[in-house]
A and B are shown apart, each in its own frame.
Chain A
Amino acid sequence: MSNIGSYEKRVEDFSWDTAREILNWKEGELLNIGAICSDRICRMGRGDKPALIWEGFGDRRSVYTFEDLRAYSNGFARFLKDLGIQPGDRVCIFMDKIPSLYFSFLGILKMGAIAQPLFSAFGDESLEVRLASAGTKAILTTSKHVKKVRKVRERLPELKTVVVVEGNPDRVREDEVFFDVEAGPRVDTFEVYPSGPETPSVLHYTSGTTGQPKGALHVHNSVWGQALTASWVLDLRDDDVYWCTADPGWVTGTSYGIIGPWSLGITQCVLDSGFTTSRWYRFIQDNRVTVWYSAPTAIRALMKDGDEVVRNYDLSSLRHLASVGEPLNPEAVIWSGEVFGLKFHDTFWQTETGAMMICNYPGMEIKPGSMGKPFPGIEATVLDLATHEPLQDPGKVGLIAFRPGWPSMFREYWKKPDVYRSKFVGAPDDAMPEELRTGGDLWYVSGDRASIDADGYFWFVGRDDDVINTGGHLVGPFEIESALVEHEAIAEAAAVGKPDEVNMEVVKAFVTLKPGYEPSDELELDIMNFIRKRLSPLAMPQEIEYRDRLPKTRSGKIVRRYLKALEWGEEVGDLSTLSDE
């Protein structure tokens, strides 16, 4: 019997109080995610239980108990407080998936600051944009990544402190601090910041069609959504060994790679090394992983390597599989059923939603290719593209929208109230974030399109904007285009998603060159590497097409939708507004 039991019954009887019951929560307890995931588990007598089984490259392996988690997160909390970091300050975590990432995340929350995790593969320009936007006060990083921080630090006046938590202390500069939490004395007591439900906790940056990335701000109250979905959708139980493959630089890696499982006291494992099929299967085998939460991109990459390699490993410990990031194609669901004897359960949610919203549940019939049904307590619909009224007819495509008010919903885009307001249909122009979150007749619009079938299953259609979903990560075309035109050879640029067998979409750039430059393979490679280093490997165009001119509207705006339609072999639509120039 799964944790959720009957989906229909859960929908009927739903209350968010169930999350408190699952956590055995007592009225008046301190609502602080950092403490809930460590101190609280220890207080319940489970301090000796493994919390984190970590493996790195070269078969390095460490196991940390919840008691270790408590002490090391205390260590970070005390260290940051002594440095003068204040509650509400943004503290960036910029490192690979090493143990200190997990300890520091909880430590930041324990001392009342806001954790701002960033993907360690970001180049210096992507890093600078996000640190400048957030007014980040301190950054925790490693010897490997501190060089990128050094390149941008002088342009970030609010960034007061740079902390290196791993690597060679001799290479740390005078204006940086070295802090190895495991080398120092264990910090057994720390007075946790008395956060409340609406105290900010995590700031995750996400990309949009226009402008630079936006910071989606979450609060400590999000834990109810993350804990309950971890229990009902991932079906996590006390004896599980759980593996979430996501990097905590992205929201999946914090909501379900830290908060959800640890609030429930679940043992989880982390593999911090590059992707190869054999390494992943060996990791599952060696750690007897029972529940596996991964991404369609990874699943398709495993599929590509065939069934034979699976037979070299004992994967019989697996009992439940789920995926997130982009639509899971039916072939992948069927394949996993054949080779693992278990089907991947697709889940849909976003950085902004903070927790799973539309899912396939254990015990519920999976329709391969479907997103599943709304989580109990979540009111979801699709809105007419023009009128923004909920669609009643099965199969009709509209905008996926949610009724605001679920616990893990983002509370604002950092310092961008107008952009936040624009995400809600029917919002008055002067509505404050609090009104938007609790407004009974509003809809939060996700930016994705879907249809609903007669059985209530949602079916993903695509993005409603130009954002590129590559390997389950959203990449904003504006950010790529801005970086492209900084290349000495490029005059104008447009970035769109093109279809890709493994990553669903990859970035393709269309460029015009400045006088004196000629298209060549060498130039293409130079542009690719230029973007990879400045932004990230995800943002690197995997193809560059040289053009004499780019399609524009009469007002001079580049028409990405035309270029994207060409890539996807779709109708290009009405071109009457395009310029002939």
Chain B
Amino acid sequence: MDEMKEIVLEYIVDEYLDEDEGDEVSYDSPLISSGIVDSFSMVSLKRFLESKYRITLPDEEATPEAFDTVNSICRLVQKHLG
């Protein structure tokens, strides 16, 4: 789980933040409610998770709440990894 958190956080920092903002985000930082990731961009984040972990995340579970922190994202991915 810790390795997954690192991978997801790194992806978010690389794709959604500028180089000098990376230090400001932790596993518990709000992503959707803070505006770092918007609802349209959630689609590419979801695609990354599905591709990386070879899972399918149902749309009804890929909610803004479920995607709001690295921790909550990893819980969702973990559930579908079984």
Chain A residues close to B by CB (< 8 Å): 57-58, 96, 121, 147, 171, 272-279, 301, 305, 470-471, 506, 521-522, 524-525, 528-529, 532, 537-538, 540, 542
Contact = CB atoms under 8 A, between A and B. Distances in A.
A528 B64 CA distance: 19
Contact of A305 (B20, B36, B50, B63): B63
A375 to B, nearest CB: 31
Given A147-B18, A521-B51, A525-B47, A273 B34 contact: yes
20 contacts: A57-B33, A57-B34, A57-B35, A58-B34, A147-B18, A171-B20, A273-B33, A273-B34, A273-B35, A274-B38, A274-B39, A275-B38, A275-B39, A279-B33, A506-B40, A521-B50, A525-B51, A537-B40, A538-B40, A540-B40
What 5 pairs across the A-B complex have the smallest Cβ distances? Answer: A537-B40, A521-B51, A274-B35, A537-B41, A528-B44
Given A470-B40, A471-B40, 12 more contacts: A57-B34, A57-B35, A274-B34, A274-B37, A274-B38, A274-B39, A274-B64, A305-B63, A521-B50, A525-B48, A532-B40, A542-B43
A558 to B, nearest CB: 24
A427 B39 CA distance: 42
A175 B64 CA distance: 39
A57 B30 contact: yes
B15 interface: yes
Interface string B43-68: 11001101100000000000111001
A82 B62 CA distance: 50
Nearest to B30: A57
A278 B68 CA distance: 13
A526 B38 CA distance: 18
Contacts of A58: 34
Contact count band on B:
20 to 34
B51 A540 contact: no
B40 A301 contact: no
Contacts of B36: 274
Contacts of A275: 32, 38-39, 64
Nearest to A501: B59
Contacts of A471: 39-40
Nearest to B48: A525
Nearest to A276: B64
A528 B32 contact: no
B64 to A, nearest CB: 5
Among B37, B51, B64, the most chain A Cβ lie within 10 Å of the Cβ of B64
Given A57-B33, A540-B41, A522 B51 contact: yes
Contacts of A121: 38
Contacts of A470: 40
A528 B40 CA distance: 11
Contact of A276 (B15, B44, B48, B65): B65
A316 to B, nearest CB: 25
A529 B34 contact: no
Contacts of A279: 33
A498 to B, nearest CB: 12
B43 A540 contact: yes
A276 B33 contact: yes
A171 B18 CA distance: 14
B48 to A, nearest CB: 6
Nearest to B59: A501
A522 B44 CA distance: 11
A165 B18 CA distance: 19
Contacts of B31: 274
Contacts of B20: 171
Contacts of B47: 521, 524-525, 528
A500 B3 CA distance: 34
B54 to A, nearest CB: 9
B13 to A, nearest CB: 13
A144 B39 CA distance: 19
